[in-house]
Structures are given as structure tokens and as C-alpha cells.
Amino acid sequence: MIIIIQCPDRVGLVASITTVLAKHELNVISLGEHVDKEEERFYIRLNVEQTKDAILLEQELEAVLPADSLITINPLPQKKIAILVTKEYHCLADILVRNYFKTLGAEVQCVIGNYDNLQDVCRRFDIPFYHVSHEDKTKPEFENEVLKTINKYVPDYVVLAKFMRILSPEFVANFPMKLINIHHSFLPAFVGASPYRQAYNRGVKLIGATAHFVTNDLDEGPIITQQTIHVNHSFSTADMVKAGREIETAVLAKALELVFDDRVFVYKNKTVVFE
């Protein structure tokens, strides 16, 4: 049983929580706790050996915690996701493989592409693919069609697996902290378009990738995880794109694992991640 709680900090929170658990003879296997002193905010994630009636437990925890606590017990074991793509295959294919072999920690419901070249790989894994072209459409028209397609399902998260169109605040507002993007740079370096070209021009000695929640501010949402790899003068922009594929795939996979495993808390523009 997983219990996750986020609330204003005060003395005695760990004792209050674990005393409720001990009363029911529940054994804490592992426990991540964090207090953000600047925000005076408390975060805890408990992995409990046994299972107990969640509704009862939540009532008892509510009774001993601050009024505005966010308590989740036994979060959805199997999240459902929709995926948006453009043309690049690597992140999508990695997710489809994990989905097929049941190691994704979530279920892929559908894939929506503004190009159709990834339709065939989805078909091979029996995943519905919707081609929603952005051509000859206004941005609201395009986004409405994407939204309508997503809404055929009720995904818990929408994953932008190298989706290369900028989404409007109106669209983003539909999925607060439910929209996960992989950005092909070690943010905040190289925001915006063509980060590998920017990296080449700047002559950096490392490139990276960043998985983050999407908010209204482009490339500015809470960061989930990020990594870098070394490059050198011999890398053309194309070489960086190629090397970047590997790290983008790995970073998005790691971020999804953390999110689907309920290890990521969001507060304001930051995340707390209990690995």
C-alpha cells in the first residue's frame, strides 16, 4: 500500500501519520520525507507492507492532519495515458514496447500524430493511432480536434513524446499537471526551437534532455528529471540529434516510471521526487 501526503509543515506530522498506521499494525517498509523550509511545506511517501481499507485510513489521517492536506492512499495502480507525437519514433517506440511487455506501469490508450508516419508502428502493437494534421487549420481548430480525440478516452496523463507543436495555454489548461513533455536540452539552456543547433553553435561539451510537466510558460514547467551526455567538436548538429535520441528516450522513460509509480509531488513550479 502506498500513502502519499502533501500539506503545510508543522511539528509532529510524521508521528501523527505513523501512529495511525501503527494502530492498525501496518509496517512501514520504506519512507521518503521532505520539508521545504522556504515554502513551509511537508511531503511524505510511505510504502506499507500490508493493505487496509483506504477510506477508513484516509478519514483517520484527515483527523490528525492540517485541514488542507492532500492525502492519497493506494493511487491508481495502472494509469491510462494518451500520447502525442510528430515524426520522431524513438520515445514512442520505447513506450509502446514497455506497454506491450507490461513494464510501463501504465496503459497506452491511444496515439495522436500530426503526421502519419508513426501509424504503422502503432498498428503493429494494436494501439489506436489518430492522424490529426495541423495543416490548413488554425491553431484552435487543430487543438480542438486533438482535444476531441483525447476525450474519446479518459487518460490520467497525456505524454508529449517528441510532439513538436507549441500548445496554447487554453489547451494546456485542460490537463493541469497531467501533461508531460520531453524537451531536447538540459533546461533552462536552449529553450525554444532547435536546441541541438543552438548547442552546436554555442560549442557546448555536453547535451541533455529534460522531462517536465507542461504549464502555460513554454519550457518553464516543473522539471521531473534530466540528464546530460558528453559531446565534442566532432559532433555535427545531426550527430547531436542522433546522440540526443538515446538520452531523450532514457529521460522520458525514467520520468514516466517516477510519475506512474507515484513518486513525484508537484508544488508551485517545482517537483519533489522520492526515488
In the complex with its own copies, the residue whose CB is nearer, 25 or 68, is 25
**Nearest distance, CB of residue 151 and its own copies, angstroms:** 29
Considering the complex, what minimum distance in angstroms separates the CB of residue 142 from its own copies?
26
Quick check: 272 and 233 in contact, CB under 8 A? no
CB of residue 168 to its own copies, shortest distance in Å:
23
Which residues lie closer than 8 Å to 62 by C-beta, 6 or more apart? 69, 71
| Residue 2 vs 28, nearer CB to its own copies | 28
State the Cα angle at 273 between 64 and 159, rounded to 5°.
115
**Which is catalytic among the residues 116, 219, 239, 262?**
219
Residue 225 phi/psi, 5-degree rounding, is -160, 155
Active site residue 219: yes
Instruction: Please confirm whether the linkage preceding 75 is cis (ω < 30° from 0).
Output: no
Please state the closest distance from residue 200 (CB atom) to its own copies, in A: 9
Helices (H), 117-176: 119-124, 139-150, 169-172
Buried b (16+ CB within 10 A) or exposed e, 172-183: beebeebbbbbb
**What are residue 268's DSSP bridge partners?**
none
Quick one: 146 or 247, whose CB is closer to its own copies? 247
Which residues of the shown chain bind its own copies in the complex (CB under 8 A)? 9-16, 18-19, 21-22, 25-31, 33-37, 89-90, 93-94, 97, 100-101, 121, 124-125, 186-190, 202-206, 208, 222-228, 232-234, 236, 246, 250, 253, 269-273, 275
**C-beta closer to its own copies: residue 92 or 112:** 92
The whole-angstrom separation of Cα 209 and Cα 211 is: 7
- Give the residue with the Cβ less far from its own copies, 28 or 147: 28
Q: How far is the CB of 145 from its own copies (least distance, A)?
A: 27
- On the question of a cis peptide bond just before residue 77, with omega within 30 degrees of 0, the verdict is no
H helices present in 24-79, as ranges: 54-64
Which residues participate in catalysis according to the annotation?
219
